[in-house]
Amino acid sequence: MSRQSLRYFVSALERAHPGEVVRISEPVDLAYQTQALALELERRRRFPVLIFEQVRGHSIPVVSNVMASRRGLATALGVGEVELPEEYAKRLKEPLKPIVVDRPPFPVHVQRGDGAVDLGALPIPTYFPGDGGPYLTAGLLTARDPATGVSTAGFHRFQVKGPNRLGVSLHSRRRMFEFQQRAEKAGRSLDCAIVMGLHPAVGMGSLSYPAPEISKFEVVGGLFGEPMQLRRAETLELDVPAWAEIVIEGEILPGVREPEGPFGEFTGYFSRRSTDNVFVARAIVLRQGAWFQSIASGRAPDHILPLGVLREAEISNALRRVVPGVRAVHVPMSGGASFTAYVSIKRTRPGEAKHAISVALGVDHYLKLVVIVDDDIDVFDESDVLWAIATRVQADRDLVVISGSLGAILDPSASPEGLTAKLGIDATRSFGEGGAEKLVMSAEPMAWARELVDRIARA
CATH number, domain of 175, equals 2.30.110.10
pLDDT tens digit sequence for 52-72: 999 999 999 999 999 999 999
99 and 238 inside one domain: yes
How many domains, the chain?
A: 2
Half-sphere exposure of 85 (CA within 13 A, CB side): 20
Q: What single-letter DSSP state applies at residue 155?
A: E
The answer to whether residue 96 is domain-embedded is: yes
> Please, what sign has the CA dihedral across residues 68, 69, 71, 74?
positive
The answer to whether residue 12 is domain-embedded is: no
Q: What pLDDT was estimated at residue 418?
A: 85
Long-range Cβ contact pairs of 393-398 (< 8 A, separation 24 or more) = 393/425, 393/426, 393/427, 397/426, 398/425, 398/426, 398/427
Of 288, 311, 344, the residue at which a domain comes to its end is 288
The answer to whether residue 422 is domain-embedded is: yes
How confident is residue 223, by pLDDT bands cut at 50, 70 and 90? Answer: very high
261 and 339 inside one domain: no
331 and 234 inside one domain: no
Whether 212 shows a pLDDT value over 90: the answer reads no
The answer to whether residue 220 is domain-embedded is: yes
267 and 393 inside one domain: no
The answer to whether residue 172 is domain-embedded is: yes
Q: What angle do CA 142, 146, 148 make, to 5 degrees?
A: 95
The answer to whether residue 454 is domain-embedded is: no
Residue type, 12: A
100 and 241 inside one domain: yes
245 and 331 inside one domain: no
Burial class (CB in 10 A: 0-12, 13-18, 19+), 170: buried
Q: What pLDDT was estimated at residue 1?
A: 67
Q: What single-letter DSSP state applies at residue 58?
A: B
330 and 284 inside one domain: no
pLDDT tens digit sequence for 96-126: 999 999 889 999 999 987 778 999 999 999 9
The answer to whether residue 184 is domain-embedded is: yes
Of 242, 265, 288, the residue at which a domain comes to its end is 288
400 and 280 inside one domain: no
Round the average pLDDT of the chain to a whole number and report it. 92
Q: Which domain holds residue 337?
A: 322-427
Output the pTM of the full model: 0.86
Percentage of the residues of the chain whose pLDDT score is greater than 90: 68
245 and 369 inside one domain: no
Mean pLDDT in residue range 346-375: 92
pLDDT tens digit sequence for 275-325: 999 999 999 999 999 999 999 988 888 888 988 998 998 999 999 998 989
